[in-house]
């Protein structure tokens, strides 16, 4: 699904030199490479504060801790996504409120958010799924009307833009009150281990978050807030420093691959390709995900695997059906889109190193199944 080896071969000298700086300095935690990455990412995103941390799941949890959400507060998020998003809500003894998604973009449904709001609702967590920006104008309007926090789960969409109705283009993850991302190796900007970061333009919130990631300390052995141990290590920061200048090129490569895939499948009655907005900047294609209609998706997956083509189903089971998150509040009729998507979606290889020959082979193999 990803080709990190080929990507590394092209940047190995830069990556190796960056890591060697860490080894020479012996500053493995919060060293110069971490500070450099923080500043570079702030500049890239156009956000006042980046707080690096240990992984994307921690980033979400720390963001919620920083906002002072209390046990029992309701947090609305999408049913069709990876479990980390709802996991941290439950870990903090908040109340997850899962809602359906929209068919055309697979992101959280605006109408479903509106229906789910109660007096206990305190936050919305939109997930920019598969690299496609959610409708942040509508989400921020709802949040303003009901005095809610917006926590952007940007683990799959770093580098994507959202142009608001005001005509201003902003990086996703920087539009809500706080954003969180992951640098898991397969992400569009990935390190060679675990890593994450939190973004905000709120000075007071940023100060709180910086304490939380470091055991609640601003001064050594003075614990001012309840915190955790979640720091991006210097070796991972070194890798990210080598890759961040290439992020736009990496995303362009993904977008170009997506266009070629979609061209190859154009007009096929059983294949629905990802909806690409007029400005492709909205979508950076962490995944290229098809919907297979009136055909056997699982048989297609077996066909591709026999031909040596990696593929995956993101996600096979809705969160509201997962054992850990079962709740009598959820009714199947509230999730028609999610329940349909889990039967139809299949993701094809998507990474920076895909070439025309590989794309053609994959497209031809998919079409061969239907023929």
Question: What is the Cα 73 distance to its own chain's centre?
Answer: 24
- pLDDT tens track for 103-161: 999 999 999 999 999 999 999 999 999 999 999 999 999 999 999 999 999 999 999 99
CATH number given to 4-244: 3.40.640.10
Report the pLDDT averaged over residues 177-192: 98
CATH number given to 247-370: 3.90.1150.10
Q: How confident is the model at residue 319 (pLDDT cuts 50, 70, 90)?
A: very high
Tell me whether the CATH fold assigned to 4-244 matches the one assigned to 247-370.
no
Catalytic residues: 187
Give the contacts of 2 (CB within 8 A, at least 6 positions apart): 185, 186, 349, 350, 351
Cα of first residue to Cα of last residue in the chain, in angstroms, is 24
Report the pLDDT averaged over residues 317-330: 97
Does 46 score more than 80 pLDDT? Answer: yes
User: Can you tell me whether residue 258 is helix, strand or coil?
Assistant: helix
- pLDDT tens track for 193-215: 999 999 999 999 999 999 999 99
Give the contacts of 160 (CB within 8 A, at least 6 positions apart): 128, 131, 132, 133, 171, 172, 251, 281, 282, 283, 284
Question: Angle of helix 56-66 relative to helix 203-212, nearest 10 degrees?
Answer: 120
Q: How confident is the model at residue 47 (pLDDT cuts 50, 70, 90)?
A: very high
**What pLDDT shows up at residue 275?**
82
Bridge partners (DSSP) listed for residue 199: 50, 179
**What pLDDT shows up at residue 280?**
56
Does 334 score more than 90 pLDDT? Answer: yes
Return the domain boundaries, the chain: 4-244, 247-370
- Note whether 8 and 15 are within 8 A (CB): yes
- pLDDT tens track for 93-114: 999 999 999 999 999 999 999 9
- CA distances, 249 to each of 70, 244, 353 (Å): 41, 10, 11
Supply angle C-alpha 75, 160, 117, rounded to 5.
Answer: 20
d(CA 346, CA 291): 6
Q: How confident is the model at residue 277 (pLDDT cuts 50, 70, 90)?
A: low
**What pLDDT shows up at residue 203?**
98
- Note whether 353 and 6 are within 8 A (CB): yes
Report the pLDDT averaged over residues 243-251: 98
């Amino acid at each position: 699904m990803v080709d990190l080896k080929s990507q590394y071969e092209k940047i190995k000298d830069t990556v190796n030199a960056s890591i060697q700086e860490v080894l020479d300095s012996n500053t493995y935690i919060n060293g110069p490479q971490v500070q450099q990455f923080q500043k570079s990412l702030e500049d890239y995103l156009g956000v006042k504060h980046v707080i690096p941390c240990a992984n994307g799941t921690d980033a979400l949890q720390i963001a919620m801790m920083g906002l002072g959400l209390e046990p029992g507060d309701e947090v609305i998020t999408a049913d069709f996504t990876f479990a980390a998003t709802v996991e941290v809500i439950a870990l903090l003894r908040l109340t997850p409120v899962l809602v359906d998604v929209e068919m055309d973009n697979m992101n959280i449904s605006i109408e479903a958010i509106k229906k789910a709001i109660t007096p206990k609702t305190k936050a919305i967590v939109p997930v920019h799924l598969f690299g496609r920006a959610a409708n942040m104008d509508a989400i921020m309007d709802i949040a303003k009307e009901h005095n809610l926090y917006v926590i952007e789960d940007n683990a799959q969409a770093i580098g994507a833009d959202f142009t608001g109705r005001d005509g201003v283009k902003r990086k996703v993850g920087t539009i809500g009150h706080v954003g969180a991302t992951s640098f898991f190796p397969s992400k569009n900007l990935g390190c060679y281990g675990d890593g994450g970061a939190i973004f905000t333009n709120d000075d007071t919130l940023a100060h709180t978050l910086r304490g939380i990631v470091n055991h609640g300390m601003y001064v050594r052995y003075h614990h001012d807030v309840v915190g955790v141990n979640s720091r991006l290590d210097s070796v991972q920061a070194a890798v990210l420093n080598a890759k961040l200048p290439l992020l736009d090129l990496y995303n362009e490569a993904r977008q170009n691959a997506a266009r070629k895939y979609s061209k190859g499948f154009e007009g096929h009655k059983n294949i629905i390709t990802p909806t690409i907005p007029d400005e492709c900047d909205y979508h950076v294609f962490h995944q290229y995900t098809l919907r297979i209609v009136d055909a056997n998706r699982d048989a297609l997956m077996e066909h591709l695997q026999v031909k040596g083509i990696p593929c995956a189903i993101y996600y096979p089971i809705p969160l509201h059906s997962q054992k850990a998150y079962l709740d009598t509040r959820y009714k199947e009729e509230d999730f028609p889109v999610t329940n349909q998507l889990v039967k139809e979606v299949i993701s094809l290889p998507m990474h920076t190193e895909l070439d025309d020959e590989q794309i053609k082979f994959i497209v031809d193999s998919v079409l061969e199944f239907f023929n």
